[in-house]
């Protein structure tokens, strides 16, 4: 029986690297993203059966319907990875940028996560992976909505994990918290421990196989996570 996975946000960066990694593992793939040309290009490059769907998760109702379309075309899926997300440095605290981040990272995430969980509940099993961020651990001065939205994702996934336990379902929920990865999302000066997307994808795939509840990408970001949790706010404000 073919292994099947849907990647939400697959046109570049970690999402594209994950598509390549899963294709090499023999998965049938459903790939979504906002840029149709990049989806088509990626489909043509992969050595497996691929279903593509243009999707903007910020348009929640449309995205849910489009997710169902991909799901039906594939005949279901075993794995859903929600990688779609945005973030803006926002020193002027422009409310439009903050709200755009919330629309994509919170409302958009919930729309797909609930649809995926419902599918897995009907099947009796499945694996949901959500990409949060190391920024989920504390507030972010230069873009408050970004850190807050990632904290929401981590907390929401824990809620789904607890729900699966309560309902005694074989549904795995994995919270991936990357540090800096060499993608368009990695903006600004002073970046360190920047991982190539392929390395990030390889570690995420290992976490999927191990059915882990949570993982930092790359693994050494666990040290930064520990530090962030104990730093006082007066120190965080200077970072």
Annotated active-site positions, please? 146
Paired with 215 in beta bridges are 176
* Alpha carbon distance 49, 57 (integer Å): 23
Q: Torsions phi, psi of 127, nearest 5?
A: -140, 120
The Cα 196–Cα 219 span in angstroms is 13
Strand order in the sheet with 214-217: 50-54, 28-33, 4-8, 79-82, 125-131, 170-178, 214-217
Cα–Cα distance measured from residue 214 to residue 191, given in angstroms and rounded to the nearest whole number: 23
CB 201 within 8 A of CB 16: no
Helices then strands, counting H and E runs in the chain, come out as 9, 7
Three-state DSSP class for residue 66: helix
CA angle 229, 235, 236 (to 5 degrees): 60
> 28-33 and 50-54 as β-strands: parallel, antiparallel, unpaired?
parallel
Distances (CA, A) of 169 to 125, 159, 160, 209: 6, 14, 11, 18
Closest CA to 80 of 125, 116, 48, 42: 116
């Amino acid at each position: 029986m073919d292994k099947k996975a849907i990647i939400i946000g697959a046109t570049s960066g970690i999402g594209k690297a994950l598509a390549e990694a899963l294709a090499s593992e023999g998965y049938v793939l459903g790939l979504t993203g906002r840029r149709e040309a990049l989806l088509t290009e990626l489909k043509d490059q992969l050595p497996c059966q691929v279903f593509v769907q243009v999707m903007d998760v910020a348009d929640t109702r449309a995205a849910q319907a489009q997710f169902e379309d991909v799901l039906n075309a594939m005949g279901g899926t075993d794995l859903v990875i929600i990688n779609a997300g945005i973030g803006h440095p926002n020193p002027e605290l422009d409310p439009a940028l903050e709200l755009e981040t919330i629309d994509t990272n919170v409302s958009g995430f919930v729309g797909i996560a609930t649809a995926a969980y419902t599918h897995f509940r009907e099947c009796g099993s499945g694996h949901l992976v959500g990409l949060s961020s190391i920024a989920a651990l504390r507030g972010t001065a230069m873009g408050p909505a970004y850190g807050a939205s990632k904290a929401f994702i981590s907390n929401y996934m824990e809620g789904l994990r607890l729900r699966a336990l309560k309902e005694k379902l074989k549904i795995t929920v994995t919270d991936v918290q990357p540090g800096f990865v060499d993608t368009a999302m990695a903006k600004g000066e002073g970046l360190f421990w920047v991982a190539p997307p392929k390395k990030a994808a390889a570690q995420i795939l290992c976490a999927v196989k191990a059915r882990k509840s949570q993982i930092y990408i790359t693994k050494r970001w666990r040290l930064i996570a520990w530090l962030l949790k104990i730093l006082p706010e007066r120190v965080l404000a200077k970072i």
